[in-house]
Amino acid sequence: MALVPRLFIDPYGQQLYKDPSSKSIFKDQTYYSNVIKSLDVNKLTNVFDKDVILNGLNLKNLFYTNEDRTINFVLTPGRIIQDNNIVDILEDVHFSIDIFSKYDLVDANYDENYFEIDGDHVENFPYNKTFAIFDSNYATQFNHNHWVVKEARFDDGKTRIYTIQNINSDDITGHIVNDNFPNINDNPEFTILIMSKFQYLETIKDNYIEFVPVYTTTDSDYFTVVGQCYPEYDEHTFRIIYGAIYFKKDLNDFKLLPVQYVVAKESVNINIYGKDYTIRNLTKAYKSYLDGGEIN
């Protein structure tokens, strides 16, 4: 995810922040001195919807890494309006999501029935979670995706994953693969929504737009989101959607399968928990309604 500072701020009677050490470029030190033409900007932004994409911000360069278990893609530069504020995104926004996490085995204990991996990953292995082991020398004993977590503990820089099943060897070849987003009823289909998270804060310095990939475990099609969202979805802060990417998982090999895009090139409606979002390129949608030319 990426944080992008707001370039124009809309007062609307709210208290503005001004650093005592800052220098104003305006002659008159008034209430609006540190607002860059905000009143004129508001007149422009009110022509459009409250939260819109004016230009750019399209998805590109999607590819997989780490044996097709990590998704990578880019949101291009562009211009948006959020809460009547114009924001210019001047650089590519890069996303990387580990759908499956891969860990090398560093130890196994058949007396206490645990596997051990480096680092603190306790949160990724809650009680009753299933995980897989691949590439073990003991293929018939270890290589399958039905290991079940009894408990996970972090100690001395390592995570011990205690299993419900009995471990009958201390072989430590191979690696553990964990599904970070288990779906409803083991449904292999899921959707990544590219959204922006924004909430008006008191100061210019702390006021950010945050671009977030929202993972949905919906058991419906990707135009209607009814399942759980990661991170937790809030319709008051997640208000612009830039694209949706539809995926399937191979739950035998824990890998990703081919995808389908819905991006901001034409109007497409997506319903998230009863709230309609429209993915669209507003440069094309609105320019015929404007006097004086196109949006650049």
Contact partners, residue 171, CB within 8 Å, separation at least 6: 108, 136, 137, 138, 141, 142
Among 113, 146, 179, which residue terminates a domain? 179
260 in the same domain as 122: no
Residue 29 lies in a domain: no
Q: Given this model, what pLDDT does residue 27 score?
A: 42
User: How many domains is the chain partitioned into structurally?
Assistant: 2
257 in the same domain as 134: no
| Token code pair at residue 118 | 């480096």
| Token code pair at residue 80 | 């948006």
For residues 103-110, average pLDDT: 92
119 in the same domain as 81: no
Among 153, 179, 205, which residue terminates a domain? 179
Q: What percent of the chain has pLDDT over 90?
A: 19
201 in the same domain as 84: yes
Contact partners, residue 139, CB within 8 Å, separation at least 6: none
Q: Given this model, what pLDDT does residue 223 score?
A: 81
Asked if pLDDT for residue 245 goes beyond 60, the answer is yes
Asked if pLDDT for residue 283 goes beyond 60, the answer is no
Burial of 165-190, coded b for 16+ CB within 10 Å and e otherwise, reads eebeeeebebebbbbebbbeeebebb
Peptide bond into 213 cis (omega under 30): no
Residue 219 lies in a domain: yes
Q: Given this model, what pLDDT does residue 239 score?
A: 83
For residues 62-85, average pLDDT: 82
Task: Say how far apart CA 197 and CA 201 lie, in whole Å.
Answer: 12
Task: Say how far apart CA 50 and CA 46 lie, in whole Å.
Answer: 7
| Confidence at 290, pLDDT banded by 50, 70, 90 | very low
150 in the same domain as 207: no
pLDDT tens-place string over residues 179-191: 988 876 777 888 8
Asked if pLDDT for residue 14 goes beyond 60, the answer is no
Residue 25 lies in a domain: no
Residue 194 lies in a domain: yes
Residue type, 123: E
256 in the same domain as 127: no
Give the domain CATH number at 106: 2.40.10
280 in the same domain as 199: yes
Q: Please tell me which residue, 41 or 179, carries the higher pLDDT value.
A: 179
Q: Given this model, what pLDDT does residue 164 score?
A: 94
281 in the same domain as 141: no
Task: Say how far apart CA 244 and CA 249 lie, in whole Å.
Answer: 16
Residue 133 lies in a domain: yes
Residue 120 lies in a domain: yes
Whole-prediction pTM: 0.74
Contact partners, residue 264, CB within 8 Å, separation at least 6: 53, 57, 58, 59, 242, 243, 279, 280, 281
189 in the same domain as 169: no
87 in the same domain as 190: yes
For residue 163, CA distances in Å to 20, 111, 120, 158, 240 come to 59, 12, 17, 16, 42
Domain range for 89 is 2-7+44-98+185-289
Contact partners, residue 60, CB within 8 Å, separation at least 6: 73, 74, 76
153 in the same domain as 276: no
109-118, 159-168, 261-270: least confident range: 261-270
Task: Say how far apart CA 70 and CA 100 lie, in whole Å.
Answer: 7
Asked if pLDDT for residue 26 goes beyond 80, the answer is no
Asked if pLDDT for residue 22 goes beyond 50, the answer is no
| Confidence at 177, pLDDT banded by 50, 70, 90 | very high
Task: Say how far apart CA 237 and CA 93 lie, in whole Å.
Answer: 19
Residue 250 lies in a domain: yes
Residue 215 lies in a domain: yes
260 in the same domain as 211: yes
Asked if pLDDT for residue 20 goes beyond 60, the answer is no
H or E stretch at 167: none
| Token code pair at residue 172 | 């430590």
Among 179, 202, 224, which residue terminates a domain? 179
Task: Say how far apart CA 202 and CA 220 lie, in whole Å.
Answer: 39
